Amino acid sequence: MKKNAPYRYIFILLTLVVCYSCSVAKFIPEDEILYAGSKIIVETEEDTIATKIVKEELNTLIPLQPNSKFLGSNLGLYYHYKAQKEKPGFINKWLNKKFGEEPVFLSDVDPKRVEKLILNRLDNRGFFYSKVKSKIDSTKKYAGVTYTTNLPRPYRLEKFELDKDSLPIYAEIQEILADTKIKPGNRFDLELMKFERERIDNRLKQRGYYNFNSDFLIFEADTNRYDTSKFDLFLRLKKNTPPKSTIPYTIDSITVYPKYVIGDTATVNQTSIVNGIKFVQSNEFFKPEQLQPYILFEKGQKYNANTARLTSNRLSSIGSYKFVNIQFKEKDTTAIADGSGSLDMDIYLSPLTKRSLRAELQGVTKSNGFAGPGVSLSYNNRNVFGGGETLSITGSFSYETQLSGSSDSGLSSIAGGLKTDLIIPRLVPFSPSRFKYNVPKTKISLGADFLDRSKLYTLTSFNTSFGYIWKANNYVYHELNPISINYVNLTNTTTEFEEILDDNPYLKSSFEQQFIAGLNYKFTYNELVDENISKPIYISANFDIAGNALHLLNGGKETAFGLDYAQYAKLDVDFRYYLKWKNEQTFIARAFAGWGLPYGNSTTLPFVKQYFSGGPYSVRAFSIRSLGPGTFSTEDNSSSYFDQSGNLRLEANLEYRFPIFSYLKGALFADAGNVWLTYDPEISDDETAEGIAFNEQLKSEGKFGSDWVRELGAGVGFGLRVDVQSFVIRLDLASPFRVPYLTEGERSRIPFFDGGDDNLMFNFAIGYPF
């Protein structure tokens, strides 16, 4: 303690010097006093949970907050005054821009107005005849305000009735009130009454009351009949409520314009009627029989605001229209005397551009040392068959060469692919009637890819799938592919690569599984689509199972169509939590867990289905696919090019994002993760000595066990992101502080300082990592 005492005194002295030098008292005008803040003291007869909530609510009524303080000094205010000097200098200007605050004086505060706000809020919450008084506590340069509030016993509901007459709408309201939250014993609450008016209005609009408005409802409270703090509440329609607002409306006609252009006055010469709905278009842009199922209204049906919203959602989800405009027009109002009205419904649909062509030229650099150019060309045809179908064809080509890295430098690869997607906005071959929010789409995909790695091999793959995608609501998304087929063919293997396979039986086995046929399902819950949620979460779960149908159809044989097929089950979950606050700052916590289990016909997961860790979208302090399994590593690094992988992956990430200026953003992050094996690699009878040794090494170093936390790779880093309208170019620099493949006792290191050439990892990527 004595050794540290001088340093403590020096720190205290420096703090005092800083605080004194940052004093703002000398800048305050003679006729002003700085506002020091306000507090509310509540005196109450009834201390309940509801009363405590009201106390917290009163604090939100204070309109002004005092200037912030740091170590007792108004630094923000100090920077503001320094920047007002005749020659403030660059530093003072910058500090004022980032941290400066305008002064808040006592003269800016109106205590009498705050007293009225408090009394008004207390009346709205049932604390009638409350009292509030304010007191100013001041020194020479600072002053605060104390508000003392006396809360009497709140008024509570004795009886709630609908004051009705013979109008049919009262019977509807009476039914809706069966679910009301206004109950005897409730404290008087104006906000609850406003909510109840909106709820009744919403329900009436679902029962045909097109012209109704919540303002037509009025609550009346009666306290005169009681000596104690009780009241009766009555609900009725206002006397000047228009007659047309008290009757339900039915749909008399429905007209759809499938190819509407704003300002188009061309003569329409083609009309067709499907199930009572009229379709008007100059030429058949969209087949009426295909468009009709998206419209949830029928002629003679009562108006329903919720049905109108769902119909708009369904039409927008087709993918062929940029605008959907539904209009209702009142017909002859003489029918009001009969207690009902009628509406004409017009639906105007403005199409997107039918065909589009997009080309992308890419420059790719990867953390494994590979770099090179790439090009992608995409063609889209919307409404290709007149039923809202979208045809997408994408071709890609890229060339990469390893400019730096291990002894594998000089290797190159040529990759290309062609993919075709046909999205049909219907549930083929089923009926879409039960899906109200969004009609599922049928997606048919067909693609081919090739990869030629010099000195090693050529990999050709063909894939096809048939499935469905749909949104259950604004946050929930489903994707189900009951048919998913993938064929992989490894050819042109070199002697060097054959030797690697012979020495690595695990890798060899994963390449032998050429045929994958199964089912996969994806569930997504995404609150990020709602900008009003300050703490959104994101959950994505993927389930993949393959080989069972082939195994059953082939009577348990190990081949289908002359090919070895894979059998496995795989499940992974990605969870993210976002905390947003002012100035575009965000904190993100992410956790990922995935497990794949080979069985039956397979001893390992297929190569394309295995998990890997490391790289710009994973643990960024390590190069792509360089972690694991477990603590495994090869002495000569000969297999580093072939992706160290496993069937179990665990990962966690923390990231803090903040703005720097304009489109430039910054980030600080920490990542941890690895992959493991949960089964022993199989050794065949004809295995070489090198292969046996390799499997034994995998078994001892790559197997998941109780010490898995000690085998995590972990690192920290910082990054810069150029974010222009959601297009993000990302640069991250990371460094490990835990390296699992080093000898036990040497795995921990100081990031950015220890580790030599292996200490820094630069990542360039498009888009945020999560």
> What are the DSSP calls for 167-229, one per residue?
-HHHHHHHHHGGG-S--TTPBP-HHHHHHHHHHHHHHHHTTT-TT--GGGEEEEEE-TT-SSS
Query: What pLDDT score was predicted for residue 1?
Result: 44
pLDDT at 409: 52
8 Å CB contact between 620 and 633: no
Q: In CATH terms, are 156-246 and 507-770 the same topology?
A: no
Q: Is residue 251 predicted with pLDDT exceeding 90?
A: yes
The pLDDT tens digits of the residues spanning 357-412 come to 988 776 665 545 567 788 889 999 999 999 999 999 999 998 877 655 444 555 77
Q: How confident is the model at residue 269 (pLDDT cuts 50, 70, 90)?
A: low
With cut-offs at 50, 70 and 90, classify the pLDDT of residue 11: very low
Beta pairing partners, 348:
257, 325
pLDDT score recorded for residue 491 = 86
CATH superfamily of 249-351: membrane protein fhac (3.10.20.310)
More confident residue, 165 or 595: 595
Least confident span in 99-113, 331-345, 493-507, 682-696: 682-696
pLDDT of 18 over the 50 cut? no
- pLDDT of residue 571 exceeding 50, the answer is yes
Q: What are the structure tokens assigned to 671, written together?
A: 């990542």
This model's pTM is above 0.75: yes
pLDDT of residue 21: 43
- HSE, side-chain direction, 13 A CA sphere, residue 190: 9
What torsion do the CA atoms of 330, 332, 338, 340 make, to the nearest 10 degrees? -10
CA count, 13 A, side-chain hemisphere, 734: 33
If phi > 0 it is left, if psi is from -120 to 50 it is alpha, else beta; for residue 86 that is: alpha
pLDDT of 760 reads 87
Binned at pLDDT 50, 70 and 90, residue 637 comes out as: very low
At 582 the pLDDT is 77
* pLDDT tens-digit series, residues 508-553: 777 776 789 999 999 999 999 998 898 999 999 999 999 888 888 8
Mean pLDDT of the chain: 85
Question: Is the model more confident about 337 or about 19?
Answer: 337
Domain 507-770 classification at class level: mainly beta
Q: Is the pLDDT of residue 683 over 70?
A: no
* pLDDT of 271 above 60: yes
For the chain, domain boundaries: 5-151, 156-246, 249-351, 357-493, 507-770
pLDDT tens across 106-137, in order?
A: 888 889 999 999 999 999 999 998 999 999 98
Question: Is the pLDDT assigned to residue 577 strictly greater than 70?
Answer: yes
Give the range with max mean pLDDT: 203-217, 271-285, 444-458.
203-217
Average confidence (pLDDT) over 644-666: 91
pLDDT tens-digit series, residues 581-591: 877 889 999 99
Distance CA 463, CA 450 (A): 12
Torsion-angle region of residue 356: left (phi > 0), alpha (psi -120 to 50) or beta?
Answer: beta
> If we measure between CA atoms, which residue out of 617, 620, 614, 670 comes closest to residue 644?
614
For the cut 60, the answer to whether the pLDDT of residue 725 exceeds it is yes
Q: Residue 736: left if φ>0, alpha if ψ -120 to 50, beta else—which one? A: beta
Q: For the chain, give the number of residues.
A: 770
- The mean pLDDT of 6-13, rounded to a whole number, is 45
Is the domain spanning 5-151 CATH 3.10.20.310? The answer is: yes
pLDDT of residue 6: 47
In this prediction, residue 442 carries a pLDDT of 95
Residue 649: its pLDDT value, please?
97
- Report whether pLDDT(680) > 60: yes
pLDDT over threshold 80, residue 628:
yes
- CATH 3.40.50.620 for domain 156-246, yes or no, is no
Q: What three-state secondary structure class fits 92?
A: helix
CB 162 within 8 Å of CB 177: yes
Mean predicted confidence (pLDDT) in 722-747: 88
User: What pLDDT is recorded for position 431?
Assistant: 63
Is the Cβ–Cβ distance between 169 and 176 less than 8 Å? no
Peptide bond into 629 cis (omega under 30): yes
Instruction: Answer yes or no: is pLDDT of 757 > 70.
Output: no
Per DSSP, the three-state class of 304 is coil
Range picked from 19-28, 295-304, 338-347 for highest mean pLDDT: 295-304
- Give the model's confidence band at 26: pLDDT under 50 very low, under 70 low, under 90 confident, else very high: confident
Residue 641: its pLDDT value, please?
A: 46
Read off the pLDDT of residues 322-371 as tens digits, 9 standing for 90 and up: 999 999 999 865 556 677 899 999 999 999 999 999 887 766 655 455 67
Residue 293 pLDDT exceeds 80: yes
Strands 230-237, 217-222: pairing kind: antiparallel
Instruction: Tell me the residue type at 758.
Output: D
351 prior amide bond cis, ω within 30: no
Mean pLDDT value across residues 235-255: 93
Q: Please tell me the predicted confidence (pLDDT) of residue 19.
A: 44
Strands 277-280 and 249-257: parallel
pLDDT tens figures, 429-484: 876 556 777 788 999 999 999 988 887 888 899 999 999 998 888 899 999 999 99
Buried b (16+ CB within 10 A) or exposed e, 468-506: bbbbeeebebbbbbeebbbbbebeeeeeebeebbebbbb
Q: Sorting pLDDT into bands at 50, 70 and 90, what band is 20?
A: very low
For the record, the structure tokens of 251 come out as: 């749909």
pLDDT at 766 over 90: no
Rounded distance between C-alpha atoms, residue 599 and residue 393, angstroms = 36
**Least confident window among 93-107, 231-245, 313-327, 415-429:** 93-107
